[in-house]
Amino acid sequence: MKKQLIMLRVNGESCELAVEPQRTLLEALREDLGLTGAKEACGTGECGACTVLIDGKPILSCLTLAIEAQGKEIATIEGLAQGSELHPLQKAFIQYGAIQCAYCTSGMILNAKSILDENPKPTREEILKGLEGNLCRCTGYNKILEAIMAASTGKD
Amino acid sequence: MRIPKFEYFRPSSIEEGCSLLYKHKAEAKILAGGTDLFVKMKKKEILPKVIISLKGIQKLDRIEWDDRGGLKIGPLVTHEALVSHPIVREKFDFLSEACFKIGTRQVRNMGTLVGNLCNASPSSDASAPLLVLEANLKLVHLYGERVISLEDFFVGPFQNVLDPQEIVVEVQIPNPPRFSAGSYEYIHKASSVGESLVGAAVFLRMDPKEATCREARIGLSSVAPTPIRAKAAERVLKEKKLGEKIIREAAQVASDEIQPRSRPWYRREMTKVLVERAILQAMEKIR
Amino acid sequence: MEELSFVGKRVPRKDGTEKATGKALYTVDMVLPGMLWGKILRSPYPHAKILRIDTSRAERLPGVKAVLTGKDTLGIKHGFVETPRYAPDQYPLAMDRVRYIGEEVAAVAAIDEYVAEEALNLIQVDYEELPAVFDPEEAMKPEAPEIHPSHPKVKEPYKNIGGKTESGWGNVEKGFAESFLVREDRFDGQLRTHCYMEPQATLASFDFSGKLNVWTSSQGPFIKRAKLATTLGLPFSNVRVLKAYVGGAYGGKVDLFSHEFCASLLSIKAQRPVKIVCTREEVFEAARHGQPIFVELKTGVKKDGTLVAQQVRVINNSGGYRGSGVVVIFLCWGFVMLCYRIPNLKYEGYSVYTNNPVRAPQRGHGAPNLRFAVESQMDMIAEELGIDPVEIRLKNARQKGDILPNQDPVRNCGLVECIEKVAGTTQFKEKYGRNRSLPKGKIRKGIGMGVSSYFSGSLIYPNASAAIVKLNDDGTVSLITGTLDIGQGAETILSQIVAEELGVSMEDIRVVAADTETTPVDIGSWISGGAYVSGNAVKLAASDARRQLFEVAAQELEANPEDLVVKNREISVKDSPGRSISFTQAVAASIAKRRGNPIIGQGHYRTMKDVPAHPSLATTKGRWSDNYAFDAQVAEVEVDMETGQVKLVKATTAHDCGFPINPLIVEGQIDGQVSMAQGHALWEEVLMEKGETLTTSFLDYKIPCAKDMVESYYVDIITERYEKDIPYHTKEVGEGYVSGMVAAIANAVYDATGVRVKTLPILPEKILLGLRKKGDS
């Protein structure tokens, strides 16, 4: 299949890529743009490790075509920090021990961000329900919840 | 896992989409949300040479309602949209709740209700509520259109009556009558996310003065090759006063109507439990 | 004891920022110029002869750069265990026979994964199917098809025995005859799997100088180097295994995998880097799952619950090759005898070949299934005797000062305290048994206890850890260690030790890790010895650096080295704060006045320093470990009596881990193991049908999700301490807390429902069927 030239807006910047139709957004981010923060842990939509934000909503980049992600604002984990100033969620994840192997972390933090952007003071149940699509095998989710609750109350 | 290669089209109208289907026939598949299609392609279960995306067509993500025609849901409406739409939450509450159960937050943002129905999974959570709401689907192809009931749409596990040249353009749900309510109960297969082991939707229309059930509809998912209506169980409740004994009997009859493929004993037991719970829930809502 | 600044503190992870910003590079993220993609062709049959392989069409496909089959290899076998008794038994690529569906038969490297996959479809393999057997009890029968000849040292006439462990003392027959109560039960543990989020992946690059550079998702580079070099016929020093971040392992990434070998050999053949990434489906179908075992347990006790005799038979289903099967049957002996004093024991374990994919350790390596058996039976015995579960455990618990049957002294055993404290904090005695007399309810609560123990470091290649602590002239410190952080926080805790010994901050430490060429040897992150063995090596290296630093500083400050203190990169004289010298100044002085000595500290450590080798897997004779961790865990559940569904509401872990180097990390390890125990006890199972894996995705094989999160509580039992200038003893925290919790959940379910389930997982229908049998619903 012939490659098509597309423009993707990633973390506020416009990037030009040449991709075949079946190329997923995940592959484009990781292999064409070198943004390897989003991961593939399953490739079939169950694990959430490939989660990125498209127009603020958490979506699975492994099941999204790169050509269909044009004209939207894509946010990856690499764009979350402002220079060396980490996002409150990133700081909280580190401070509260919510990171172990971190393979789930990029997707988890972005999804958590979208939850807090929608509702700055969610309940524990709302957070856990919101994260049901982000699998973690290391942490048991305890400290992840703690970190997100702390970030939502502005606790430092 | 890579998606196998395909040719991509992005028509700007339904007519153009139908033309493309007419041209490519069974080699083509329609793309809405992609959460089912791309998974199947990655697993090599289907290998379409042509993908026709609906995303270039305007206004397919609309939810429309009026008090005569009922609810009309376009093919690009996501589960998330149905979860949060105020009319759906108010007037078709158990459908909204069922949609909240489907998949995960990310999948609900991407996956469409129509796509989910076309996937025709026996365990789709939206199907039992839609069956008891007596939903219809509007299908169009190049030379015409037809409306069929959702019940007639499913014919087997992951099999529907859609012709390769047809596109589903609308889900039509009639307004529920007065003194009626529906509820949806489910149980997970394992953990707290993923496919339901059993899904039970109950819709009741009660007599406003006596505690008599005028009409009962019971929809079950994940217990047969397709989502089904438990019609024998429905007859048990019709024109009866709904006491504990009759409810239990209806639940028992419903559990005899199922044809589960795996974990049959447990599915029968859970069908009984969930149908009973759903009937009681629906009654509670009408009160 | 002086106040510590870093060790014992809740220090945030050293690699936290890298990981939280998506910058950490895992093997799957790495790319090299000219890189090719590799794919593996796998056997579709559970047992077959390979008659012929024709790769010519694949070789001719444009874009294919190399193709391999067994005949391109040296035919050197490898195995999880490689000892004189248990010789390596698996070829990295099948030669003339395949013994499980998914066994690796060929490999290709091509310009992209699409071409590689197309090439696989063009490889023609002619198989002759052989009869296959899948159940271990069937495989042991004389009429079973032979997968491998039974081990020659096993006297019984069983077929397909990969190995046997036999051990015991006293006289069990006499013991049973003298017992007040004897129970005999069988408990079955299911096939479960690791579900590490990062799939198996390897990037290999054979460079111009003849060196093979390998990045691979693993649990320690030194064992990978050894096995790769051996099977490839290369000198060890020609194989360099470098650090990559690892996205979880839990025992499933220890020994050599075919794709690692294939990526390496393909790279040698193609003269280009080759990356192989297994799909999640491949991981479910062909990677190594956890050892499933069943346990036949016969136990005799006195009237007051004291153990008199125990007879244990463990059968393990190791798959088509030995894998870690002969280790798990040895470990199960250990997991029987560690927690309770058993006057008379007879133990027999068999590792049985079947035509299933090879199995591996999984977090606990036998302990979860074994402790589920022992602890369930303990509760059953307690109930029959009318004793409560806490009392019966206290009566039999291992105590400090005990000498284990293999002559290991039990240093600082906190088991009794663990049991007492966990029972107290959960109000166990008040809650246990409350359902016996209460009226029926739709949701019933239950509480249960499980006790377990785990060894902390043993001897297995490479047998030792060493470390280098190098002072940089800007005052920062480089820690050079062979330790691999697989998510458990190894780099962080080792840095804490350096910071403590050298009086620097965590930010001042640069970690260079897990590179077989540049970092010293390390035992690896799979033998539960990270904190104890690697930690002591680092401690010794850091204190060696400090000693040298103090010698220079003492000279500069005209003081005695014993009077110096170090803090914030400054060395000063005690009680004379004005007299001080910075690290930068000290290093400069050392270089100037000590013939260029830039101050490099080194340290090394080995567990059981005077013991020559690990214990005998077959007889259990020999010293096993310097330290044993103990724990008592309590699970509180709610059971929906209509649906049989179990919710694990609260988990409390009283753990004797010695002392925690980092309590934040220890808590995270406990939480993760509670979560794994939840899945193991309640729903996880890899389903197989005639050698074919049916559960091939996270849709089919469910692991706990966020909504399943359990409230997890910790009770710290401190039994060791950290002191400057002497090696410390501490215990592991990464593996032992799954087993006690699995057992506790099973006991809690019984308390709630009166239904005793003896096969894992405890599915809701098993509970409902049990209730029906009792006539209770």
One domain for residues B237 and B151: no
State the Cα–Cα distance between residues B118 and B98, nearest whole angstrom: 17
> C704 touching B, CB under 8 A?
yes
**Number of neighbouring beta carbons within 10 Å of residue C598:** 14
Specify whether B98 is located in the same domain as B26.
no
Residue numbers in B near C682 (CB within 8 A): 190
- Domain range holding B156? 63-173
User: Taking CB atoms and an 8 Å cutoff, what residues of chain C touch B5?
Assistant: 114
Q: Say if residue B125 is in the same domain as residue B103.
A: yes
From CA C16, how far away is CA A99, in angstroms rounded?
Answer: 7
CA atoms within 13 A on the CB side of C620: 27
A50 pLDDT more than 90 = yes
In chain A, residues with a C-beta closer than 8 Å to the C-beta of C13 are 94, 97, 99
Q: How far apart are CA B74 and CA C112, in angstroms?
A: 39
B41 → chain A, closest CA residue: A44
Q: What is the CATH number of the domain that holds B77?
A: 3.30.465.10
Residue where a domain stops, chosen among A54, A79, A104: A79
Instruction: State which of A50, A79, A108 marks the end of a domain.
Output: A79
B83 in a domain, yes or no? yes
Q: Does the beta carbon of B55 lie under 8 angstroms from any beta carbon of chain A?
A: yes
At C758, list the tokens: 């003896």
Q: Do A59 and B110 touch (CB under 8 A)?
A: yes
The whole-number pLDDT of residue B211 equals: 79
Q: Are residues B134 and B194 in the same domain?
A: no
Residues A131 and A107 in one domain: yes
Calculate how close chain C gets to B193, using CA atoms only, in Å. 7
Q: Is C114 on the interface with B (CB under 8 A)?
A: yes
Tell me if B230 sits within 8 A of B254, measured CB to CB: yes
Alpha carbon separation from C550 to B241, C1, C545, C570 (Å, rounded):
92, 21, 9, 11
Residues of chain B contacting residue C195, judged by C-beta atoms under 8 Å apart: none
Cβ(C257)–Cβ(C93) under 8 Å? no
Q: Which of C24, C486, C672 is facing A140, going by the closest CB pair?
A: C672
SS3 A31: helix
Specify whether B282 is located in the same domain as B230: yes
Nearest to C184 by CA among C298, C294, C296, C295: C298
The shortest C-alpha distance from B215 to chain A (Å) reads 35
Mark yes or no for CB contact C705/B193 under 8 Å.
Answer: yes
Subunits with 3+ Cβ pairs within 8 Å of C are A, B
Q: Contact at 8 Å (CB) between B191 and B183? A: no
Does A43 contact B at CB distance below 8 Å?
yes
The CATH number of C31-130+197-249+253-287 is 3.90.1170.50
Report residues of chain B scoring pLDDT below 50. none
Identify which of B24, C518, B10 has the alpha carbon closest to the alpha carbon of residue A21. B10
Q: Do A101 and C248 touch (CB under 8 A)?
A: yes
Do C16-23+464-605 and C31-130+197-249+253-287 have matching folds? no
Q: Does C705 touch chain B (CB under 8 A)?
A: yes
CB contact under 8 A, A22 and B2: yes
Residue A33 touches partner C, C-beta closer than 8 Å: no
Phi then psi for B208, rounded to 5 degrees? -65, -25
Q: Which pLDDT value is given to residue A156?
A: 47
Neighbours of chain B (3+ CB pairs under 8 A): A, C
Chain A CB contacts of B1 under 8 Å are 40, 43-44, 62
Contacting partners of chain A (3+ CB pairs under 8 A): B, C
**Inter-chain contacts counted by CB atoms under 8 A, chains A and B:** 75
- Smallest CA–CA distance from B188 into chain C, residue: C645
> What's the complex ipTM?
0.97
Interface test with C, best of A137, A139, A143 (most C CBs within 10 A): A137
Mean pLDDT per 10-residue run, chain C (777 residues)? 86 97 98 98 98 98 98 97 95 98 98 98 98 98 97 95 97 98 98 98 95 98 98 97 98 97 98 98 97 97 98 98 97 97 98 98 96 98 97 96 92 94 97 76 93 94 96 94 96 97 95 98 93 96 95 94 89 88 93 93 93 93 94 97 96 95 97 98 97 97 97 95 88 94 98 96 97 78
Verify whether the Cβ–Cβ distance B194 to A64 is below 8 Å: no
The CATH code of the domain that includes B258 is 3.30.390.50
CA-CA distance, B245 to B222, in Å (whole number)? 26
SS (H, E, C) C246-303: CCCCCCCCCCCCHHHHHHHHHHHHHCCCEEEECCHHHHHHHCCEECCEEEEEEEEECC
Chain B positions touching A44 (Cβ under 8 A) are 1, 39, 42-43
Task: Chain A: give the shortest CA distance to residue B106, in Å.
Answer: 5
Dist CA B248 CA B272 (whole Å): 8
Residue B194 forms contact with A (CB below 8 Å)? yes
A101 and A120 share a domain? Answer: yes
* Ranges assigned E (strand) in B79-166: 136-141, 144-149, 154-156, 159-160
C228 neighbors C261 (Cβ within 8 angstroms): yes
- Is B148 an 8 Å CB contact of chain A? no
From A54, A134, A31, B104, select the one nearest C35 (Cα to Cα).
Answer: A31
| Chain C residue with Cα closest to A138 | C672
| Cis bond upstream, residue A122 (ω within 30) | no
Report A:59-78 residues touching C (Cβ under 8 A). 76-78
Q: Could you list the residue range(s) of the whole structural domain that residue A32 is in? A: 4-79
Residue B1 belongs to some domain of the structure: no
Are A36 and C17 in contact (CB < 8 Å)? no
Answer whether residue B2 is part of any domain: no
| Residues A30 and A96 grouped into a single domain | no
Q: Which CATH number fits domain C291-364+377-402+423-446+628-774: 3.30.365.10, 3.30.413.10, 1.10.10.1590, 1.20.120.530?
A: 3.30.365.10
DSSP sequence for C364-402: TTTHHHHHHHHHHHHHHHHHHHT--HHHHHHHHB--TT-
Angle in degrees, CA C298, C300, C303, rounded to 5: 150
Same domain, A98 and A72: no
Alpha-carbon radius of gyration of chain C: 27
Domain identity same for A66 and A101: no
- CA-based diameter of chain C, in Å? 88
Q: How far apart are CA C98 and CA C83, in angstroms?
A: 23
Say if residue A55 is in the same domain as residue A107: no
Cα–Cα distance between C219 and C255 in angstroms, integer?
A: 9
C644 CA to centre of own chain: 32
* C709 contacts in chain A (CB < 8 Å): 128, 140-142, 145
Do B159 and B221 have their domain in common?
A: no
Q: Is residue B119 part of a domain?
A: yes
Q: Which of B191, B195, B270 sits opposite C643 (nearest CB)?
A: B270
Calpha distance C757→C448 (Å, rounded) = 14
Domain harbouring A58, CATH code: 3.10.20.30
C37 Ramachandran zone, left/alpha/beta (phi>0; psi -120 to 50): beta
Sign of torsion, CA C151 C154 C155 C160?
Answer: negative
Residues of chain B neighbouring A58 (CB-CB closer than 8 A)? 105-106, 109
C700 touches chain B (CB under 8 A): no
Query: How far is residue A115 from each of residues A128, A130, A131, B83, C583, measured CA to CA in Å?
Result: 10, 7, 9, 15, 47
Do A22 and A43 reside in the same domain of the chain? yes
**What's the rounded Cα separation, in Å, for the pair C766 and C751?**
15
Residue B63, C-beta contacts closer than 8 angstroms, at least 6 positions apart: B71, B72, B73, B74, B77, B81, B82, B85, B87, B88
CB interface of B with C, residues 69-128, below 8 Å:
none
Please give, rounded to a whole number of angstroms, the shortest distance from the CA of C281 to a CA of chain B: 9
Query: Is the CB of B8 less than 8 angstroms away from the CB of A51?
Result: no
Contact (CB<8Å) A102/C697: no
Q: Does the CB of A15 have a partner CB in chain C at under 8 Å?
A: no
Cβ contact C632:C740 at 8 Å? yes
Q: How far is B8 from chain A (nearest CA, A)?
A: 6
Q: Residue B105: which of A22, A43, A111 has the nearest Cβ?
A: A111
- DSSP label at C533? I
Q: How far is C764 from chain B (nearest CA, A)?
A: 8
**pLDDT confidence of A155, banded at 50, 70, 90?**
low
What integer pLDDT is reported at residue C437 of this predicted model? 59
Into how many domains does chain A fold?
2
Phi, psi of B171 (to 5 degrees): -105, 125
C534: Cα separation from own chain's centroid = 16
Handedness of CA C399, C404, C407, C409 (dihedral sign): negative
Q: Do C645 and B187 touch (CB under 8 A)?
A: yes
Cβ of B2 under 8 Å from any chain A Cβ?
yes
Nearest one of B273, B90, B266 to B189, comparing CA atoms: B266
Q: Please state at what angle helix C663-682 crosses helix C367-385, rounded to 10 degrees.
A: 70
Distances (CA, A) of C43 to C53, C129, C256: 12, 11, 19
Name chain A contacts of B109, Cβ cutoff 8 Å. 57-59
Q: What is the pLDDT of residue C2?
A: 64
Locate C99 and state its tokens: 């013994």
How many separate domains does chain B show?
Answer: 3
Give the domain ranges of chain C: 16-23+464-605, 31-130+197-249+253-287, 291-364+377-402+423-446+628-774
Domain CATH for A127: 1.10.150.120
Is the Cα torsion angle C568, C571, C572, C573 positive or negative in sign? Answer: positive
**Phi first, then psi: what are they for C600, rounded to 5°?**
-125, 120
* Nearest CA-CA distance, residue A69 and chain C, Å: 21
The answer, for B43 touching chain C at a CB cutoff of 8 Å, is yes
Asked if C639 is an interface residue toward chain B (Cβ–Cβ < 8 A), one would say no
Specify whether the CB–CB gap between C214 and C244 falls below 8 A.
no
Place of tokens 């709610």: C638
Asked if B263's CB is within 8 angstroms of C705's CB, the reply is no
- Do the beta carbons of residue B53 and residue B9 sit within 8 Å? yes
CATH among 3.30.365.10, 1.20.120.330, 3.60.20.30, 2.60.40.4070 for C16-23+464-605: 3.30.365.10
CB contact under 8 Å between B5 and A57, yes or no, is no
